[in-house]
Protein backbone atom coordinates (compact mmCIF):
# COMPACT_ATOMS: atom_id res chain seq x y z
CA UNK A 1 0.00 0.00 0.00
CA UNK A 2 1.28 3.47 -0.96
CA UNK A 3 2.09 5.39 2.22
CA UNK A 4 1.10 8.65 0.47
CA UNK A 5 -2.52 7.56 0.11
CA UNK A 6 -4.79 9.36 2.56
CA UNK A 7 -6.08 8.21 5.91
CA UNK A 8 -9.86 8.60 5.88
CA UNK A 9 -11.68 9.17 9.15
CA UNK A 10 -15.02 7.42 8.70
CA UNK A 11 -17.15 9.11 11.31
CA UNK A 12 -15.89 12.49 12.48
CA UNK A 13 -17.32 12.57 15.98
CA UNK A 14 -15.29 13.32 19.11
CA UNK A 15 -12.86 10.40 18.76
CA UNK A 16 -12.63 10.73 14.98
CA UNK A 17 -11.93 14.46 15.13
CA UNK A 18 -9.31 14.11 17.85
CA UNK A 19 -7.47 11.16 16.30
CA UNK A 20 -7.73 12.50 12.76
CA UNK A 21 -6.78 15.98 13.87
CA UNK A 22 -3.68 14.77 15.70
CA UNK A 23 -2.62 12.80 12.62
CA UNK A 24 -3.20 15.82 10.37
CA UNK A 25 -1.33 18.12 12.76
CA UNK A 26 1.67 15.78 12.47
CA UNK A 27 1.62 16.05 8.68
CA UNK A 28 -0.24 12.85 7.78
CA UNK A 29 -2.59 13.05 4.76
CA UNK A 30 -6.02 12.93 6.40
CA UNK A 31 -9.54 13.25 5.03
CA UNK A 32 -12.65 13.44 7.19
CA UNK A 33 -15.92 11.82 6.14
CA UNK A 34 -18.36 13.72 8.31
CA UNK A 35 -21.93 14.91 8.70
CA UNK A 36 -22.80 18.39 7.47
CA UNK A 37 -23.14 19.79 11.00
CA UNK A 38 -19.57 18.83 11.86
CA UNK A 39 -18.28 20.06 8.51
CA UNK A 40 -19.84 23.47 9.10
CA UNK A 41 -18.46 23.67 12.65
CA UNK A 42 -14.89 22.82 11.64
CA UNK A 43 -14.88 25.01 8.53
CA UNK A 44 -16.04 27.95 10.63
CA UNK A 45 -13.68 27.39 13.57
CA UNK A 46 -10.92 25.05 12.46
CA UNK A 47 -9.86 22.22 14.77
CA UNK A 48 -8.41 22.78 18.20
CA UNK A 49 -7.14 19.66 19.95
CA UNK A 50 -6.33 19.85 23.63
CA UNK A 51 -5.72 17.45 26.48
CA UNK A 52 -5.38 17.42 30.24
CA UNK A 53 -1.63 16.76 29.76
CA UNK A 54 -1.24 20.13 28.06
CA UNK A 55 -1.51 19.31 24.35
CA UNK A 56 -2.81 22.23 22.29
CA UNK A 57 -2.86 21.79 18.50
CA UNK A 58 -4.69 24.13 16.12
CA UNK A 59 -5.55 23.52 12.48
CA UNK A 60 -7.29 26.19 10.37
CA UNK A 61 -10.50 25.08 8.70
CA UNK A 62 -9.03 25.78 5.26
CA UNK A 63 -6.30 23.16 5.85
CA UNK A 64 -8.69 20.30 6.67
CA UNK A 65 -10.20 18.06 4.00
CA UNK A 66 -13.84 17.58 4.99
CA UNK A 67 -16.71 16.07 3.04
CA UNK A 68 -19.97 14.20 3.42
CA UNK A 69 -19.35 12.56 0.02
CA UNK A 70 -18.32 8.89 0.43
CA UNK A 71 -16.37 9.18 -2.84
CA UNK A 72 -13.61 10.56 -0.59
CA UNK A 73 -12.92 6.92 0.26
CA UNK A 74 -11.80 6.06 -3.29
CA UNK A 75 -8.10 6.77 -2.72
CA UNK A 76 -7.94 5.68 0.92
CA UNK A 77 -4.95 3.73 2.10
CA UNK A 78 -6.26 3.42 5.66
CA UNK A 79 -9.84 3.89 6.88
CA UNK A 80 -10.29 4.59 10.59
CA UNK A 81 -13.86 3.65 11.50
CA UNK A 82 -15.02 5.85 14.37
CA UNK A 83 -18.82 5.67 14.09
CA UNK A 84 -21.10 4.45 16.86
CA UNK A 85 -21.63 0.69 16.94
CA UNK A 86 -25.19 0.92 15.62
CA UNK A 87 -23.86 2.64 12.48
CA UNK A 88 -21.11 0.09 11.75
CA UNK A 89 -23.04 -1.96 9.19
CA UNK A 90 -24.06 1.12 7.21
CA UNK A 91 -20.52 2.50 7.22
CA UNK A 92 -19.13 -0.90 6.20
CA UNK A 93 -21.48 -0.95 3.20
CA UNK A 94 -20.25 2.52 2.25
CA UNK A 95 -16.61 1.46 2.53
CA UNK A 96 -17.33 -1.63 0.43
CA UNK A 97 -18.87 0.53 -2.29
CA UNK A 98 -16.13 3.16 -2.48
CA UNK A 99 -12.81 2.20 -0.83
CA UNK A 100 -10.04 0.32 -2.69
CA UNK A 101 -9.90 -3.38 -1.86
CA UNK A 102 -6.37 -3.00 -0.44
CA UNK A 103 -7.33 -0.23 2.00
CA UNK A 104 -6.73 -1.26 5.62
CA UNK A 105 -9.89 -0.80 7.71
CA UNK A 106 -9.32 -0.12 11.42
CA UNK A 107 -12.11 -0.19 13.99
CA UNK A 108 -11.60 2.43 16.71
CA UNK A 109 -14.96 1.80 18.36
CA UNK A 110 -16.48 0.73 21.64
CA UNK A 111 -17.78 -2.79 22.05
CA UNK A 112 -16.65 -6.22 20.89
CA UNK A 113 -18.85 -6.90 17.85
CA UNK A 114 -17.78 -4.23 15.35
CA UNK A 115 -14.95 -6.16 13.73
CA UNK A 116 -17.26 -9.08 12.98
CA UNK A 117 -19.76 -6.67 11.41
CA UNK A 118 -17.02 -5.10 9.29
CA UNK A 119 -15.77 -8.51 8.20
CA UNK A 120 -19.26 -9.54 7.13
CA UNK A 121 -19.56 -6.57 4.78
CA UNK A 122 -15.93 -6.20 3.73
CA UNK A 123 -14.79 -9.61 2.56
CA UNK A 124 -11.32 -9.29 1.09
CA UNK A 125 -10.37 -6.19 3.07
CA UNK A 126 -7.78 -6.31 5.84
CA UNK A 127 -9.71 -5.50 9.04
CA UNK A 128 -7.73 -4.45 12.10
CA UNK A 129 -9.33 -4.28 15.54
CA UNK A 130 -8.42 -1.44 17.86
CA UNK A 131 -9.20 -0.12 21.32
CA UNK A 132 -9.28 3.57 22.30
CA UNK A 133 -8.84 3.87 26.07
CA UNK A 134 -9.32 7.60 26.40
CA UNK A 135 -12.35 9.87 26.48
CA UNK A 136 -12.72 12.93 24.24
CA UNK A 137 -15.08 15.77 25.12
CA UNK A 138 -16.55 17.96 22.36
CA UNK A 139 -16.37 21.49 23.79
CA UNK A 140 -17.89 23.20 20.78
CA UNK A 141 -16.52 25.57 18.16
CA UNK A 142 -14.22 22.89 16.77
CA UNK A 143 -12.49 22.09 20.05
CA UNK A 144 -12.00 18.47 21.14
CA UNK A 145 -10.45 17.77 24.51
CA UNK A 146 -8.88 14.44 25.52
CA UNK A 147 -9.86 14.12 29.15
CA UNK A 148 -8.53 10.71 30.22
CA UNK A 149 -5.27 8.88 29.67
CA UNK A 150 -3.99 5.89 27.70
CA UNK A 151 -2.56 4.77 24.35
CA UNK A 152 -4.61 3.32 21.52
CA UNK A 153 -4.07 -0.45 21.15
CA UNK A 154 -4.37 -2.24 17.79
CA UNK A 155 -3.95 -5.80 16.67
CA UNK A 156 -0.33 -6.47 15.68
CA UNK A 157 0.06 -7.00 11.93
CA UNK A 158 2.77 -7.30 9.30
CA UNK A 159 2.31 -3.71 8.09
CA UNK A 160 3.56 -2.18 11.38
CA UNK A 161 0.32 -0.19 11.48
CA UNK A 162 0.77 0.98 15.08
CA UNK A 163 4.15 2.53 14.33
CA UNK A 164 2.91 4.11 11.10
CA UNK A 165 0.00 5.82 12.84
CA UNK A 166 1.84 6.91 15.99
CA UNK A 167 2.55 10.65 16.12
CA UNK A 168 3.61 13.03 18.91
CA UNK A 169 0.78 13.16 21.45
CA UNK A 170 -1.02 10.13 19.98
CA UNK A 171 0.63 6.76 20.43
CA UNK A 172 -0.56 3.37 19.23
CA UNK A 173 0.63 0.08 20.70
CA UNK A 174 0.38 -3.32 18.99
CA UNK A 175 -0.93 -6.41 20.80
CA UNK A 176 -1.18 -10.07 19.86
CA UNK A 177 -4.53 -10.47 21.67
CA UNK A 178 -6.77 -7.54 20.80
CA UNK A 179 -9.92 -9.55 21.55
CA UNK A 180 -8.95 -9.87 25.22
CA UNK A 181 -8.04 -6.16 25.28
CA UNK A 182 -11.42 -5.20 23.81
CA UNK A 183 -13.22 -7.27 26.43
CA UNK A 184 -11.13 -5.56 29.10
CA UNK A 185 -12.21 -2.18 27.74
CA UNK A 186 -15.84 -3.33 27.70
CA UNK A 187 -15.59 -3.96 31.45
CA UNK A 188 -14.36 -0.39 31.92
CA UNK A 189 -17.06 0.93 29.59
CA UNK A 190 -19.73 -0.53 31.85
CA UNK A 191 -19.21 2.69 33.79
CA UNK A 192 -20.49 4.72 30.81
CA UNK A 193 -24.09 3.95 31.69
CA UNK A 194 -23.59 4.58 35.40
CA UNK A 195 -22.00 7.93 34.60
CA UNK A 196 -24.87 8.79 32.26
CA UNK A 197 -27.45 7.93 34.92
CA UNK A 198 -25.59 9.96 37.57
CA UNK A 199 -25.21 13.22 35.64
CA UNK A 200 -21.84 13.73 37.38
CA UNK A 201 -18.42 14.36 35.83
CA UNK A 202 -16.46 11.10 35.68
CA UNK A 203 -13.86 12.16 38.22
CA UNK A 204 -16.50 13.23 40.75
CA UNK A 205 -18.42 9.99 40.28
CA UNK A 206 -15.39 7.70 40.56
CA UNK A 207 -14.11 9.55 43.62
CA UNK A 208 -17.13 8.33 45.63
CA UNK A 209 -17.12 4.79 46.98
CA UNK A 210 -20.89 4.11 46.59
CA UNK A 211 -20.60 4.77 42.85
CA UNK A 212 -17.48 2.60 42.58
CA UNK A 213 -19.18 -0.24 44.45
CA UNK A 214 -22.04 -0.05 41.96
CA UNK A 215 -19.55 -0.42 39.11
CA UNK A 216 -17.69 -3.22 40.96
CA UNK A 217 -20.91 -5.22 41.37
CA UNK A 218 -21.67 -4.78 37.68
CA UNK A 219 -18.17 -5.90 36.68
CA UNK A 220 -18.56 -8.97 38.89
CA UNK A 221 -21.65 -9.92 36.89
CA UNK A 222 -19.76 -9.34 33.64
CA UNK A 223 -16.80 -11.45 34.78
CA UNK A 224 -19.12 -14.35 35.53
CA UNK A 225 -20.55 -14.02 32.04
CA UNK A 226 -17.18 -13.81 30.30
CA UNK A 227 -15.88 -16.77 32.31
CA UNK A 228 -18.86 -18.82 31.15
CA UNK A 229 -17.87 -17.94 27.56
CA UNK A 230 -14.22 -18.84 28.13
CA UNK A 231 -13.14 -15.20 27.71
CA UNK A 232 -10.28 -13.79 29.79
CA UNK A 233 -10.42 -9.97 29.52
CA UNK A 234 -7.17 -8.00 29.67
CA UNK A 235 -7.57 -4.73 31.58
CA UNK A 236 -6.32 -1.47 30.01
CA UNK A 237 -4.46 -0.86 33.30
CA UNK A 238 -1.39 -2.82 34.51
CA UNK A 239 -3.51 -4.77 37.01
CA UNK A 240 -5.44 -7.95 36.11
CA UNK A 241 -9.09 -7.45 35.18
CA UNK A 242 -10.19 -9.77 37.98
CA UNK A 243 -8.69 -7.34 40.52
CA UNK A 244 -10.76 -4.41 39.29
CA UNK A 245 -13.83 -4.95 41.53
CA UNK A 246 -11.78 -5.19 44.73
CA UNK A 247 -9.83 -2.04 43.81
CA UNK A 248 -13.06 -0.17 43.12
CA UNK A 249 -14.40 -1.17 46.53
CA UNK A 250 -11.41 0.28 48.39
CA UNK A 251 -11.96 3.24 50.71
CA UNK A 252 -11.65 6.56 48.90
CA UNK A 253 -8.13 7.33 50.18
CA UNK A 254 -6.83 3.90 49.18
CA UNK A 255 -8.50 4.04 45.77
CA UNK A 256 -6.88 7.39 45.05
CA UNK A 257 -3.52 5.97 46.05
CA UNK A 258 -3.81 2.92 43.77
CA UNK A 259 -5.79 4.22 40.79
CA UNK A 260 -4.28 7.69 40.71
CA UNK A 261 -1.02 6.22 39.44
CA UNK A 262 -2.70 4.46 36.53
CA UNK A 263 -5.61 6.63 35.38
CA UNK A 264 -5.65 10.38 34.85
CA UNK A 265 -9.05 12.05 34.49
CA UNK A 266 -9.78 15.67 33.63
CA UNK A 267 -12.44 17.34 35.81
CA UNK A 268 -14.57 17.93 32.69
CA UNK A 269 -14.61 14.31 31.52
CA UNK A 270 -17.98 12.63 31.02
CA UNK A 271 -18.86 9.38 29.30
CA UNK A 272 -19.96 9.40 25.67
CA UNK A 273 -23.22 7.81 26.83
CA UNK A 274 -23.89 10.81 29.05
CA UNK A 275 -23.42 13.05 26.00
CA UNK A 276 -25.77 10.85 23.97
CA UNK A 277 -28.52 11.13 26.59
CA UNK A 278 -28.11 14.90 26.82
CA UNK A 279 -28.34 15.22 23.03
CA UNK A 280 -31.34 12.92 22.68
CA UNK A 281 -29.41 10.25 20.76
CA UNK A 282 -29.68 6.48 21.00
CA UNK A 283 -26.86 5.17 23.19
CA UNK A 284 -24.53 2.19 22.77
CA UNK A 285 -26.06 0.35 25.74
CA UNK A 286 -26.96 -2.69 23.58
CA UNK A 287 -23.28 -3.05 22.60
CA UNK A 288 -21.98 -2.78 26.18
CA UNK A 289 -24.27 -4.00 28.98
CA UNK A 290 -26.49 -5.56 26.33
CA UNK A 291 -23.71 -7.98 25.37
CA UNK A 292 -23.44 -9.19 28.98
CA UNK A 293 -27.21 -9.58 29.24
CA UNK A 294 -27.25 -11.68 26.06
CA UNK A 295 -24.45 -13.96 27.32
CA UNK A 296 -26.30 -14.35 30.61
CA UNK A 297 -29.48 -15.30 28.77
CA UNK A 298 -27.69 -18.00 26.77
CA UNK A 299 -25.76 -19.29 29.78
CA UNK A 300 -28.71 -19.14 32.21
CA UNK A 301 -26.93 -16.66 34.49
CA UNK A 302 -28.53 -14.01 36.68
CA UNK A 303 -27.24 -10.47 36.07
CA UNK A 304 -29.96 -8.32 37.67
CA UNK A 305 -27.88 -5.16 38.09
CA UNK A 306 -26.66 -5.15 34.50
CA UNK A 307 -30.13 -5.93 33.16
CA UNK A 308 -31.66 -3.18 35.28
CA UNK A 309 -29.12 -0.60 34.11
CA UNK A 310 -30.01 -1.43 30.50
CA UNK A 311 -33.68 -0.78 31.32
CA UNK A 312 -32.88 2.52 33.08
CA UNK A 313 -30.86 3.79 30.13
CA UNK A 314 -33.55 2.82 27.64
CA UNK A 315 -36.15 4.57 29.80
CA UNK A 316 -34.00 7.71 29.80
CA UNK A 317 -33.66 7.45 26.01
CA UNK A 318 -37.44 7.30 25.64
CA UNK A 319 -37.96 10.31 27.90
CA UNK A 320 -35.41 12.35 25.95
CA UNK A 321 -34.68 14.62 28.93
CA UNK A 322 -30.99 13.86 29.41
CA UNK A 323 -29.55 12.27 32.54
CA UNK A 324 -32.12 11.29 35.18
CA UNK A 325 -29.49 12.19 37.82
CA UNK A 326 -30.07 9.11 39.93
CA UNK A 327 -28.05 8.19 43.02
CA UNK A 328 -26.55 4.70 43.56
CA UNK A 329 -29.45 3.52 45.74
CA UNK A 330 -31.98 4.60 43.10
CA UNK A 331 -30.08 2.73 40.42
CA UNK A 332 -29.95 -0.42 42.55
CA UNK A 333 -33.67 -0.11 43.29
CA UNK A 334 -34.42 0.29 39.59
CA UNK A 335 -32.39 -2.82 38.85
CA UNK A 336 -34.37 -5.11 41.15
Q: Are residues 137 and 194 in the same domain?
A: no
Q: Are residues 17 and 49 in the same domain?
A: yes
State which of 176, 191, 210 marks the end of a domain: 176
- Using CA atoms of 9, 14, 19, 23 in order, give the dihedral in degrees to the nearest 10: 70
What is the Cα–Cα distance from 336 to 231, expressed in whole angstroms? 27
Domain that holds residue 259: 179-334
* CB 283 within 8 Å of CB 313: yes
The count of structural domains within the chain is 2
Q: Are residues 80 and 171 in the same domain?
A: yes
> What CATH code is carried by the domain that includes residue 237?
1.10.1040.10
| 203 falls within a domain | yes
What is the Cα–Cα distance from 218 to 108, expressed in whole angstroms? 24
H-type helices in 30-105, by residue range? 36-45, 88-98
Residue 166: which of 313, 26, 336 has the closest Cα? 26
pLDDT of residue 237: 78
State which of 176, 196, 212 marks the end of a domain: 176
pLDDT of residue 214: 97
Q: Are residues 42 and 170 in the same domain?
A: yes
Ranges of the chain whose pLDDT falls below 50: 1
Q: How many Å is the Cα radius of gyration of the chain?
A: 19
User: Beta strand 78-81 with 104-107: parallel, antiparallel or unpaired?
Assistant: parallel
Q: Are residues 161 and 207 in the same domain?
A: no
pLDDT digits (tens, 9 = 90+) for 248-276: 999 999 998 888 766 778 888 899 999 99
What is the Cα–Cα distance from 68 to 240, expressed in whole angstroms? 42
Q: Are residues 19 and 166 in the same domain?
A: yes
Q: Are residues 111 and 146 in the same domain?
A: yes
Buried b (16+ CB within 10 A) or exposed e, 258-276: ebeeebbbbeebbbbbbbb
DSSP letter at 123 equals: T
What is the Cα–Cα distance from 256 to 206, expressed in whole angstroms? 10
Distances (CA, A) of 159 to 1, 124, 163, 197: 9, 16, 9, 42
Buried b (16+ CB within 10 A) or exposed e, 178-212: bbbbbbbbbbbbbbbbbbbbbbbbbbbbbbbbebb
DSSP letter at 72 equals: G
- For the beta sheet containing 136-140, the strands, ordered from the edge strand earlier in sequence to the opposite edge, are 56-59, 47-51, 143-146, 136-140
pLDDT of residue 257: 87
Angle made by CA atoms 128, 129, 131, in degrees to the nearest 5 = 140
| 257 falls within a domain | yes
244: part of which helix (H) or strand (E)?
helix 244-248
State which of 149, 176, 203 marks the end of a domain: 176
Distances (CA, A) of 133 to 106, 152, 187, 275: 15, 6, 12, 17
Q: Are residues 164 and 188 in the same domain?
A: no
Beta bridge partners of 140: 143
Q: Are residues 185 and 58 in the same domain?
A: no
Phi and psi of 301, rounded to 5°?
-105, 155
| 2 falls within a domain | no
Q: Are residues 32 and 166 in the same domain?
A: yes
Residues 6+ apart with CB under 8 A from 42: 12, 17, 32, 34, 61, 64, 66, 142
Q: Are residues 139 and 171 in the same domain?
A: yes
pLDDT of residue 259: 80
Amino acid sequence: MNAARPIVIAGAGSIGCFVGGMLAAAGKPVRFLARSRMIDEIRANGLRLTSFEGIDRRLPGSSIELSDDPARLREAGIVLVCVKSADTAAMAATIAAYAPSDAIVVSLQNGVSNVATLQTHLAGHRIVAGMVPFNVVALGNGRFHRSTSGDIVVQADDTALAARLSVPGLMLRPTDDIVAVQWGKLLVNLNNAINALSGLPLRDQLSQRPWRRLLADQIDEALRATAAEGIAPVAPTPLPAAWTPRILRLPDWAFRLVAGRMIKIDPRARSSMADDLDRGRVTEIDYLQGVIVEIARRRHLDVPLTRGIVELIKHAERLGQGSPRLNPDQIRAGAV
